[in-house]
Structure 1
Amino acid sequence: MTADVVDLCSQLVRFDTTNHGAGDARGERDAAEFCATTLAAAGIEPTILESAPRRANVVARVPGENPDLPALLIQGHLDVVPADPAEWSVDPFSGTVADGYVWGRGAVDMKDFCATVLAALSSLAATGRRPRRDIVLAFVADEEDRGEYGAHWLTAHHSDLFTDCAAAVSESGGYTYHVRAADGRTVRLYPVGTAERGTAHLRLTARGRAGHGSRRNDANAVTRLVDALHALAAHRWPVVLTPTVEAFLERTGKALGVDVDLHDIDATLDRLGDAAPLVESTVRNSVTPTVLSAGYKVNVIPGVAEAHVDGRVLPGTEAALLSEVDALIGPHVEREFLSRSPSVEAPVDSPWFDAMADALRSQDPDAVVVPYCLGGGTDAKAFSELGIDCYGFAPLWLPEGFDYRAMAHGVDERVPVDGLRFGARVMEHLLLNA
């Protein structure tokens, strides 16, 4: 009997897998056991690996028709960010199915994807079919924090499970994005993630001379820090067109019938209209001040002031970004890494990308499949360090006007029932043909 994708998603949402960060998460074990039970019912032998008590990861291998082909990794995370029930229309862990949607925290980030994968595998098992190649599955903990209990732990301690994986698919791509073309047509874009910006989270520390707030002080640590932060915030980072971003601009412009000038990105973004939000954050690096800390009394100038800044780094640009940060903050402010992760880039023109595009067009013949770069990051950063080409491909049909990008980590997170069924069919096609 085939497991229903809507029921699977609803049941997964009911597991409170909230990740508060800093190791404060426990619910992943229950969700992992559910995934393992579902896989076992489809004749797949799962293994649960705990990185710490109740921080559980599920790994399994599905034999393919041709074991000589490199394996495909399908990975998704089971943890979710916190949700305040007082802000929601429904209990965020109810998994309510109403008005054509599954409601709850994790419905689009990313228990929907886990459900579509489980449903697709269940369908293959029920009909006696096998994937074309071996499929390695990893449903992991801790993506919503640092991945230290999930993907990064697996790649550090169990890398042998992934040695023959040539490519991976996971969240943040393959969903419907409705855009108006120059001639008034509505074009259905499906962005597939082929790159991610890296992270350079920095602590800035300004040092100066402590003193009385009423007295002149040319070595005020607070002033030095504020000047440095203003310089960073006001800086216009140069345009850097990675292969993914350039391909997105050219292919999306062609689909929409608008001129793309790679030497005038701002004008090009204006012409792309509703498609611009998919790319505007990834034509440049960014450094954003997010945390400030200084002082302890209004009439005392402190000797030290600190800030945290969120740096996002395009492939191949970290050294240039850090050099520019140093020039902007000046000699009286020190910087150090709070955390650091590499950028990710997979080939755009590859059989993997073609297989994902074919799978989408199998259910939507008018789909315009384009590569794009994620502004943030995912567990692809862990798996890419093993030499695996990582793609953002969590197929989902979305109705026009549905603000999908506001759903992840948002209030009243929900996913369309029809979208889930579309995703399961697309994933089934990918498993059989990739």
Structure 2
Amino acid sequence: MDVVRICSELVKIKSENPPGDTTEVAQYIASLLEGLGIRSDITEGSPGHCNVISREQNRALMLSGHMDVVPAMEEGWDIPPYAGVVDDTYVHGRGSTDMKGGCAVILTAVERAMDDCGEIPVSLAFVCDEEGGGRYGTRYLIEKQLIHPCDALIAEPTPAFAPSVGQKGICRFEVEFTGTPGHSSLFPVVGESAIMQAFSFLAWVDVLHNRVYPQSPALEELIEHSIAISDMQEEREGHELSPIFRQIMYNPGLISGGERVNIVAQKCRLTMDLRLPWGCDCDDILREIYGQLPSSAKVTPLTKANASLTDPESFLVQSTANAISSVYHVASKPMVQWAASDARALRKAGFRAIEYGPGELCGLHGLNERVRIDQLRSVEEIYYRLINTYREKYGF
């Protein structure tokens, strides 16, 4: 198999989430695994939400990638997003970076390793619904005990020289504010506006954002390295990145309220996304939130998870960094990230999980997504060397 061709073919198979149907791409990957002599099963978290897992799951290392992609309209693209066009430098299209390029690399690296020695100490999981939170993908596989705790590498796009060993936490919730309606000509003397309640709460969240959470010396070193790595990414230039890693970031992503322009608003709904640094407990933050809201407000938690970290000194992290260093001839050091992924669910279930994969980070979820061909081939070599490291350690 050629990694460029496989990446292109995967891009051509639409698997947008929503709706999240990965049936066709799962069947394609299962057919490739069958050609390698790897027995696999397709399992559905819900109808059409398909996952592909190798039958032999009790292995030292699991390689994982998600098959779903965010939607793409053709408007604005230089090349149609699902054409899978390949030129001298890039594979173009939706999912080429996030993360069908990574899935292609897993497949071709595994083929190379099996050609060398037959059986390898590796299990595989190609999952759905990562872009939707993983309910029908990784989380489903964990709940059904179809995958088992081990070292896990997720082929998410990362900076070329730095595997990601940790992610910030997440706290999503909805608040429904209830006011006292009245005639708009009398407000604010008469009536209580649900919209203004939401406004006051957001002002408090902005103050909460200024709180800095101190870290251990080891984690501080990781964060400083992560800031330096992130600062080199094209889309981050000119922004102060320290708060992103050390403070609570917040986004009032959805807000709706009011009944008419001439009525003091009786209802307002706000959906919030908080990203929590290490040392910040989600339950503690929710308790603070409850204390800041009026008694009439109703809070509905949606997602909560504390920041997570895989030991940078672990065999998985050190072996991956060594493979990166040997291919790129640089000193590879791990980093942590501000966003979330399936690694969060895996760590919570007892996996030692990291992320490392090919892709252009500046094109994530955007127009003209693409992945460099030379990076696909370099990461294939890194995975191949990592598999061999595990084979040598575990005697396959």
- Fold-level similarity (TM above 0.5): yes
Stretch deviating more after TM superposition (218-227 or 303-312)? 218-227
Question: Distance between the aligned counterparts of 2:71 and 2:177, measured in 1?
Answer: 33
Question: Distance between the aligned counterparts of 2:72 and 2:197, measured in 1?
Answer: 38
Question: Distance between the aligned counterparts of 1:62 and 1:359, measured in 2?
Answer: 25
Q: How far did residue 40 of structure 1 move?
A: 1.5
Are residue 422 (structure 1) and residue 385 (structure 2) matched? no
Residues 227-274 of structure 1 show CA distances to partners (whole Å, capped at 9, x for unaligned) of: 111221344432224457413245579x99xxxxxxxxxxx99xxx96
Q: 2:309 aligns with which of 329, 345, 363?
A: 345
Partner of 1:162: 147
Could you tell me whether the CA contact under 8 Å between 1:245 and 1:371 is conserved in 2?
Answer: no
Partner of 2:31: 37
Q: 2:334 aligns with which of 364, 370, 387?
A: 370
Question: Distance between the aligned counterparts of 2:214 and 2:375, measured in 1?
Answer: 32
Partner of 2:98: 109
Are residue 13 (structure 1) and residue 11 (structure 2) matched? yes
Q: How far did residue 314 of structure 1 move?
A: 2.7
Question: Which structure 2 segments of 5+ residues have no match?
Answer: 391-396
Q: How does 1:114-263 map to 2 (within 5 A)?
A: 114-131=103-120, 134-157=121-144, 159=145, 161-163=146-148, 165-172=149-156, 174-176=158-160, 190-215=161-186, 216-242=189-215, 245-249=219-223
The structure whose residues are more often helix, as a share, is 2
Could you tell me whether the CA contact under 8 Å between 2:63 and 2:155 is conserved in 1?
Answer: no
Could you tell me whether the CA contact under 8 Å between 1:224 and 1:333 is conserved in 2?
Answer: no
Could you tell me whether the CA contact under 8 Å between 2:65 and 2:156 is conserved in 1?
Answer: no
Residues 264-313 of structure 1 show CA distances to partners (whole Å, capped at 9, x for unaligned) of: xxxx99xxx96987765121122221211111211111222121111112
Stretch deviating more after TM superposition (301-310 or 84-93)? 301-310
Q: 1:286 to 1:249 in 2, by over 3 A?
A: closer
Identity of aligned residues (%): 26
- Secondary structure class of the residue paired with 2:177: strand
Q: 1:202 to 1:72 in 2, by over 3 A?
A: same
Q: How far did residue 352 of structure 1 move?
A: 1.3
- Secondary structure class of the residue paired with 2:72: coil
Q: How far did residue 61 of structure 1 move?
A: 5.0
Q: 2:275 aligns with which of 304, 307, 312?
A: 312
Number of aligned pairs?
Answer: 382
Counterpart AA for 1:30: E
Q: 1:405 to 1:241 in 2, by over 3 A?
A: farther
Question: Distance between the aligned counterparts of 2:74 and 2:215, measured in 1?
Answer: 41
Q: How far did residue 25 of structure 1 move?
A: 2.6
Question: Distance between the aligned counterparts of 1:305 and 1:54, measured in 2?
Answer: 35
Could you tell me whether the CA contact under 8 Å between 1:113 and 1:171 is conserved in 2?
Answer: yes
Partner of 1:302: 265
Partner of 2:286: 322
Question: Distance between the aligned counterparts of 1:275 and 1:175, measured in 2?
Answer: 18
Question: Distance between the aligned counterparts of 1:276 and 1:73, measured in 2?
Answer: 36
Counterpart AA for 2:382: V
- Secondary structure class of the residue paired with 1:112: helix
The structure whose residues are more often strand, as a share, is 1
Could you tell me whether the CA contact under 8 Å between 1:172 and 1:193 is conserved in 2?
Answer: no
Residues 30-65 of structure 1 show CA distances to partners (whole Å, capped at 9, x for unaligned) of: 1111111111212211111122332211001569xx
Q: How far did residue 126 of structure 1 move?
A: 2.8
Could you tell me whether the CA contact under 8 Å between 1:36 and 1:58 is conserved in 2?
Answer: yes
Q: How far did residue 10 of structure 1 move?
A: 0.5
Question: Which structure 1 segments of 5+ residues have no match?
Answer: 177-189, 257-267, 399-403
Q: How far did residue 175 of structure 1 move?
A: 2.9
Question: Distance between the aligned counterparts of 1:430 and 1:393, measured in 2?
Answer: 12
Q: How far did residue 199 of structure 1 move?
A: 1.6
Question: Distance between the aligned counterparts of 2:134 and 2:224, measured in 1?
Answer: 34
Q: How far did residue 329 of structure 1 move?
A: 4.3
Partner of 2:72: 83
Structure 1 length-normalised TM: 0.81
Residues 61-98 of structure 1 show CA distances to partners (whole Å, capped at 9, x for unaligned) of: 569xxx8xx62121111000000101111111111002
Partner of 2:46: 52
